[in-house]
Every structure is written in C-alpha cells, then in structure tokens.
Amino acid sequence: MLVAVAHLGLGRFVAARFSAPDRRPAERTPSEVGLDHCKVSFESTDGVPLAAWWVPPADGGSSRAVVLVHGRGSNKSAGYVIEAAEIYARAGYGVLMLDLRASGDFGDNIRTLGYKETRDGNEALAWLKDEGFEPGGVVLHGWSVGRATVVRSAPETGVAAVIEEAGYADLPLMARGRLTENDILPPLIQPGAFLAAKLFLGFDPWAIRSGEDAARLREEGTPLFVIHSTTDEVVPYLHADLFTRAYPEAELWRLEGYGHGGAYTHPEYEERLLNFLEGAGLTADLPRGLRQPNVPAKQ
C-alpha cells in the first residue's frame, strides 16, 4: 500500500508538471505580415475565459473562416500560426487565432493536452457562428496539442474540413516515450500520472485518442489533411500512420527533414494547403493570391 501511495504521489507531481500553465510573451503579431486584426475574448463552454485575434475577411463578405490552434509551449503568436494566417487571409478567409486555456493572455491554470481544450475549439466555432460564419464554411487547423483540439472538436459540428499538423493520434501511446518536447514520461510512471490527472486534475488522458475521432470524421465525410515529417523529434511519424489507418481517404503530406511543426517553412506549404482546400470545394470568395488590404479593426 505504501508503494502504491508513493507511486500515485509521484504521478500527481508529474501530472501537475505537464499540465501546468505556460504563458509566454507574444512572438509576433498579425500586423507584422500586413494583417489588420482585433483582440476578441469569450468564455469556453465551461466558463474559462479565452483570448483570440480576429482577422476579418478582406472584402467583409466572405462566408469562409478558419480557426488556427497553436501547439503546446506556444500561443496564438507562434510563427507557424502567423504564417498560416497570412495564407488564409490572402485566400479570402476570415482568420480566428485562438489562445488555448492556460496558454495565452488569460484562462485556466491547467492544460489538459487536448481533453478540455476541445471545449475551447467548440466555443470558437460558436463565436464564429455569432459573427455569421456557419460551421459548414469553417476550417479547423491545429498543430500538436492544437491538433488534438481540432480533431476532437470537429465531430458532429458540421465543419467544412480539418487540417492537423504534427499531432498525436493516441496520447497513451505517445506517453510511452517522449510526452512533449521537454517532458519524458518513464513507462513506470505513466499509469500513476494518468490516474492522478483523472483523480485530481479533472481530465482523462486515456480518453485522448484522436485516431478514433478521425474515424468519426471519416464517417461524417469531413475532409482531413494530415501533415507530418518523418523526422519529427517530438511526435513520431507513427502517429500520422495511425490517423491514415483510421481515415484511409485522408490526404497525407509526408515530409522528410523537417522538425516538429516546421512544415510551414517548406516552399510548397501554401500551395499544398490551398490545393487541399480547393479539392475539398472550399475556395473562398476571393481569388487565390489576392493580398488582404488594410481593413478597419472590429471593436
């Protein structure tokens, strides 16, 4: 019994460590790539306050929008988020760059590796709907933990498509090796850490199996684009295979020689994104390549 109590106590310490908030200063802003934007805020479905940046469509009349969701250890100002925002804005999309709970300007004090963050993704969709963007015109695009958020948020919402980059399809499998870029979870500690997270922190790591959510997207006919590098040092390429096994018709871009979340630096990144959207019938109301002019920021 003493050994079990000690194991659970150590597990609780480890669980608290990998779920601790990570608030970092902004790396960049949309203004740096010529995008006018405004700050918006709303509450997640469980009352957690969230912050985001909103870039309205260039002509104000587009019916298309995208939610961009950052990975662990970053926020809506991450370079890959800003670069993707510029691509979508040029294509005529409205762009919502979301800070997940415990990662941005304010919000919860616990990160749940994609479990409760699903609520954040659902509320982002609700905010867009209030702004006139129906789910059928909205794309969800996430990286790493943000990928878990968008893939788990999407089923039963009717979203237009999902794009996931460098994400894990099975958190328990992921945790048998390197849990994140900075955290290694020894196999003997994993059960205690997961149990402690469920008992004391209010989330169930065993439930984060996004490959199963990908299968649900397949059943619903929601297009899925999987982007992953074979040399990802954080999330092994095996997880991309798991996604495509669950959703064989998903489009897969298999990169080589790129680090975790580094696909945006590839010279074909914009072309690949836009080709996927066009193939899914999701061209926006502006022609490709039209750069967004400055528009008044929404109050």
The pLDDT of residue 177 is: 58
Within a domain: 244: yes
pLDDT digits (tens, 9 = 90+) for 12-68: 777 777 787 777 777 889 999 999 999 999 999 899 999 999 999 987 768 999 999
The pLDDT of residue 178 is: 54
The pLDDT of residue 185 is: 56
Residue range of the domain that includes 84? 28-190+207-279
Low-confidence ranges of the chain (pLDDT < 50): 180-182, 286-299
Within a domain: 11: no
pLDDT digits (tens, 9 = 90+) for 260-288: 999 999 999 999 999 999 999 997 554 44
Handedness of CA 119, 120, 124, 126 (dihedral sign): positive
Rounded Cα distance between 149 and 144, Å, is 9
**Rounded to whole angstroms, what are the CA distances from 165 to 36, 47, 143, 145, 289?**
26, 28, 5, 10, 23
Within a domain: 3: no
The pLDDT of residue 284 is: 55
Within a domain: 133: yes
Model's pTM, two decimal places?
A: 0.86
Rounded Cα distance between 175 and 188, Å, is 11
Rounded Cα distance between 159 and 170, Å, is 22
Domain count for the chain: 1
CATH code, domain carrying 229? 3.40.50.1820
Within a domain: 299: no
Q: 96 and 127 in contact (C-beta within 8 Å)?
A: yes
